[in-house]
Every structure is written in structure tokens, then in C-alpha cells.
């Protein structure tokens, strides 16, 4: 069975600072990895995904994530935070070849300070 750990339920950064949201996974088979964002009172929106190929994945709104198999990590980064990035972020993993079931982390609430 796969699992996901997001370190830090709340992260605060200043506007313009680097955003780093941590995600570690466990999976007995090659994983598919996802980052979703949830703005207040909305559903989840896909930021980016890793399936196969290039380990550095670029997503929407300037976010990117790097799949590191040796560290079983898929951390989300953005060079410069904007106020509009304030939201909750979820990392998720699925068994390779199937997105039928996603296992989600518990989420990280990102606050951007002016």
C-alpha cells in the first residue's frame, strides 16, 4: 500500500520568497505523483504531475516539483511567492499505471505574508 507524508501542516513565507512544500511517499511499485491546490471553498485543482520520464516537472502558476526516487520525495517549489498562492496544497500518490485510487497527504496550508 502507498502512503504520503507532508511535512508541515502550515507554512508561512513572505511575498517574493521561495516556496518549498515537502512531500515524501512510500510505494512498493513505481508511483505516479501529483500536487493539487485548493483555494478557499473550492475543489482541488491539479498543479502538476509526474508519471514517467523527466524527473523535474513544471506545472501551472510557476510551480515545479522534482521526483527523487532515492529520497522518495516529490517536493513542490516556486521561486517567488505571490499573495495569490495562499491556499492548501495536497500531495498525492497512485500506483503506477492506475489513477483509479489516489492516496492523499494531509495537506499543507500556505500563508503568504505581505
Partner 1 sequence: DVKVTQSSRYLVKRTGEKVFLECVQDMDHENMFWYRQDPGLGLRLIYFSYDVKMKEKGDIPEGYSVSREKKERFSLILESASTNQTSMYLCASSMRFDEQYFGPGTRLTVT
Query: Which residues contact partner 1 (rule: CB under 8 A)?
Result: 9, 34, 36, 41-46, 49, 90, 97-102, 104-107
Nearer to partner 1, 31 or 107 (CB): 107
Nearer to partner 1, 75 or 90 (CB): 90
Burial status of residue 10 (CB atoms within 10 A of its CB: 0-12, 13-18, 19 or more): exposed
Write down the least CB distance from residue 110 to partner 1, Å.
Answer: 15
Cα separation, 96 vs 31, in Å, equals 5
Nearer to partner 1, 19 or 93 (CB): 93
DSSP alpha helix (H) spans, the chain: none
Write down the least CB distance from residue 104 to partner 1, Å.
Answer: 4
Write down the least CB distance from residue 106 to partner 1, Å.
Answer: 4
Q: Residue-wise over 94-113: b if at least 16 C-beta within 10 A, else e? A: bbeeeeeebbebebbebebe
Amino acid at each position: 500500500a502507498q502512503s504520503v507524508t507532508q511535512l508541515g501542516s502550515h507554512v508561512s513565507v513572505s511575498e517574493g520568497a521561495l516556496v518549498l512544500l515537502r512531500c515524501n511517499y512510500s510505494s512498493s511499485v513505481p508511483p505516479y505523483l501529483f500536487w493539487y491546490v485548493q483555494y478557499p471553498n473550492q475543489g482541488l485543482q491539479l498543479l502538476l504531475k509526474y508519471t514517467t520520464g523527466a524527473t523535474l516537472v513544471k506545472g501551472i502558476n510557476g510551480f515545479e516539483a522534482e521526483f527523487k526516487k532515492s529520497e522518495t520525495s516529490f517536493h513542490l517549489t516556486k521561486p517567488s511567492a505571490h499573495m495569490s498562492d495562499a491556499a492548501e496544497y495536497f500531495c498525492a500518490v497512485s500506483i503506477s499505471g492506475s489513477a483509479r485510487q489516489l492516496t492523499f497527504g494531509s495537506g499543507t496550508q500556505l500563508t503568504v505574508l505581505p
